[in-house]
Amino acid sequence: MKIAVVGTGYVGLVTGTCFAETGNHVTCVDIDEKKVEKLKNQIMPIYEPGLDVLFERNIKQGRLDFTTNLKEGIKDAKIIFLALPTPPGEDGSADLKYILKVASDLGPILSEYTVIVDKSTVPVGTADKVHAQIAKNAKVPFDVVSNPEFLREGVAVDDFMKPDRVVIGTSSDKARKVMDQLYAPFVRQGNPVIFMDEKSAELTKYAANSFLATKITFMNEIANMCELLGADVDMVRKGIGTDTRIGKRFLFAGIGYGGSCFPKDVQALAKSAQEVKYDFKLLTSVMDVNQEQKTKLIHRAKAFYNGSLKGKTFGIWGLAFKPYTDDIREAPALENIKELLALGAKVKVYDPEAMENVKELFGNTIEFCSDEYAAVDGADALFIMTEWPVFRTPEFDKLQSLLRSKVIFDGRNLYDTQAMEDLGFTYFSIGRKDVDGK
Ligand SMILES: NC(=O)c1ccc[n+]([C@@H]2O[C@H](COP(=O)([O-])OP(=O)(O)OC[C@H]3O[C@@H](n4cnc5c(N)ncnc54)[C@H](O)[C@@H]3O)[C@@H](O)[C@H]2O)c1
Ligand SMILES: O=c1ccn([C@@H]2O[C@H](COP(=O)(O)OP(=O)(O)O[C@H]3O[C@H](CO)[C@@H](O)[C@H](O)[C@H]3O)[C@@H](O)[C@H]2O)c(=O)[nH]1
């Protein structure tokens, strides 16, 4: 089948590549000329494990190509995916300007029946808006379908190729048949395609992300209670996670959720609630708690250093919002770095993939180091912001010889507290007992 994907961000590239991998011919369209030039030269603009191999194979086999020209890109396409940004607008609601612009461009250039699919995360009612926008100038019949995407960065290819489920919102039998055919290879792997109406599909995406953000936030609050009561959040996590009604995943306490999705989607759902005059109290609390959680370790550092971090040097391990990505959107590390600089501290950082993106933001106000050990050389303490595997089993001898004093603030609970006590570190983590290094 011939498919067009409009927008070549994370979602567009993964969607386009994976549909090419299942035998379709895919043309990806983007207005960013430099990006399209790179893509045409087989240069992958994002770091996503496993995607490059599929990307190169499908380009070589002639199933994946790129253009900046929308009309050329959608020629003969039975399905057009919209994988466009929906950033927060000034009031926190999802900004639909990119989607509606492409919808209005599509109207006059559709040449036969086409299924237009919202892959972006969009508020309830967007499929209707997109339909109305296209209908203004369309001369042929078309359907607008909601097909939210649930991939996680870092494991996006697996999430797309072996999804827990595919959600498709449509009230058109004709569109349903087209989508059924497209997702047939995925169903064959035993994953359900769940058909529903457009509005329910749109809300499903926000409900999923907000529920997961709430689950994490709940554990962060339990962690805060553990610290006050002398319990251990890792034990509590194991204790509740083995209850199949609760489940083991997304129960890891830390320095708050970040990334390009949870923060904006929780905010957008809260805004949607406001618009229909519903007071979604839970979401407001989730956002407040998460905000406080992000810089929690700085408060502990301030207490440890008798109120002042001025003149101290801190090594930071991890900048990306999570491992296996170079994405720094809403990464807790950024807020911590800003705060440390504002308090007069010096900062040395290392991340396996995200350094270039952070250089654009901080320039030479912080020191970018060649590896994790260089980042702690001469530092007063280490802050751990992202749980990259390379940080899980460091050479502690080397670490203690490089650090000025053996102090670690760990936002990801990477080390066993007893082991840290045995090694003589002063060790602060989340929801577990402090180790005083004596
Ligand atoms: N990133 C994720 O992990 C993820 C996962 C699931 C859903 N989503 C949702 O998917 C959507 C896209 O997210 P993303 O992270 O891929 O976005 P992104 O910002 O990384 O990329 C969007 C792309 O769209 C292009 N674009 C903008 N206007 C255009 C136009 N008129 N024509 C063609 N291209 C245009 C931009 O140049 C950019 O390359 C968002 O709604 C997001 O919430 C994201
Ligand atoms: O137990 C956990 C799990 C995650 N996180 C944090 O939560 C954030 C989001 O993590 P994750 O969900 O793995 O990353 P994303 O790539 O942002 O994926 C989320 O957002 C995407 C965009 O909407 C959805 O498609 C995915 O299903 C959804 O998991 C990160 O800051 C993580 O550090 C925790 O703090 N504790």
- Based on the residue annotation, tell me whether 261 is a catalytic residue of this protein: yes
Q: Give the pLDDT confidence score for residue 189 in this predicted structure.
A: 64
State in Å: Cα 161 to ligand 2 middle: 18
Pocket of ligand 1 (CB under 6 A): 6-12, 29-32, 35, 83-86, 98, 101-102, 120-121, 149, 151, 153, 260-261
343-391 confidence digits (pLDDT tens): 999 999 999 999 999 999 999 999 999 999 999 999 999 999 999 999 9
Q: Whose CA is nearest to atom 15 of ligand 2?
A: 152
Q: How many CB atoms lie within 10 A of CB 134?
A: 23
Atom of ligand 2 nearest to the CA of 153: 16
Q: 220 with 319, same domain?
A: no
Q: Whose CA is nearest to atom 2 of ligand 2?
A: 250
Q: Judge residue 436's burial from the number of C-beta atoms within 10 Å of its C-beta, 0-12 exposed, 13-18 middle, 19 or more buried.
A: exposed
Whether residues 306 and 407 share a domain: the answer is yes
Closest alpha carbon to 402 in 377, 384, 380: 377
Q: Is the CB of 388 under 6 A from ligand 2?
A: no
| Whether 211 and 233 share a structural domain | yes
Whether 406 is in the pocket of ligand 2, judged by its Cβ within 6 Å, is no
Which residue has a Cα nearest atom 19 of ligand 1? Answer: 85
Do residue 9 and residue 133 come from a single domain?
yes
Q: What is this structure's pTM?
A: 0.96
Q: What is the CATH number of the domain that holds 17?
A: 3.40.50.720
Same-domain check for residues 96 and 230: no
Q: Is the pLDDT of residue 31 over 70?
A: yes
- Is residue 438 in some structural domain? no
370 occurs within a structural domain: yes
Task: Note whether 77 and 182 are same-domain residues.
Answer: yes
In this structure, the answer to whether residues 358 and 306 fall within a common structural domain is: yes
Which residue among 211, 261, 294, 412 is best mutated to probe the pocket of ligand 2, counting the most ligand atoms within 8 A of its Cβ?
A: 261
The CATH number of the domain holding residue 246 is: 1.10.1040.10
Per-residue pLDDT of 226-243, as tens digits, reads 999 999 999 999 999 999
Tell which of 235, 267, 292 closes a domain. Answer: 292
Mean pLDDT of 404-416: 97
Tens-place pLDDT, residues 86-106: 999 988 889 999 999 999 999
Residue 241 covered by a domain: yes
> Which one of 28, 226, 261, 369 is the catalytic residue?
261
Q: Say if residue 12 is in the same domain as residue 159.
A: yes
State which of 15, 27, 28, 30 you would mutate to test the pocket of ligand 1, scoring each by most atoms of that ligand within 8 A of its C-beta: 30
Q: Is residue 434 part of a domain?
A: no
Position 283 in a domain: yes
Of 5, 84, 133, the residue with max ligand 1 atoms within 8 A of its CB, to mutate for a pocket test, comes to: 84
pLDDT over 80 at 187, yes or no: no
In this prediction, residue 188 carries a pLDDT of 65
* Domain boundary pick from 134, 161, 196: 196
Residues 244 and 318 in one domain: no
Whether 95 and 108 share a structural domain: yes
Domain of 353? 295-428
Residues 234 and 287 in one domain: yes
Determine the length of the chain. Answer: 438
pLDDT tens track for 246-300: 999 999 999 999 999 999 999 999 999 999 999 999 999 999 999 999 999 999 9
Q: What is the pLDDT of residue 73?
A: 98
Q: How far is the CA of 321 from the centre of ligand 2 (A)?
A: 9
CA of residue 159 to ligand 1 center, whole Å: 17
What ipTM did this prediction achieve?
0.98
Final residue in a domain of this structure, among 243, 271, 292: 292
Counting atoms of ligand 2 from 1, which one is nearest the CA of 156? 16
Which residues sit opposite 82 in a β-bridge? 6, 118
Domain assignment present for 394: yes
Verify that 49 and 154 share a domain, yes or no.
yes
149 C-beta closer than 6 A to ligand 2: yes
pLDDT at 191: 77
Q: Which atom of ligand 2 is nearest to the CA of 220?
A: 35
Number of domains, the chain: 3
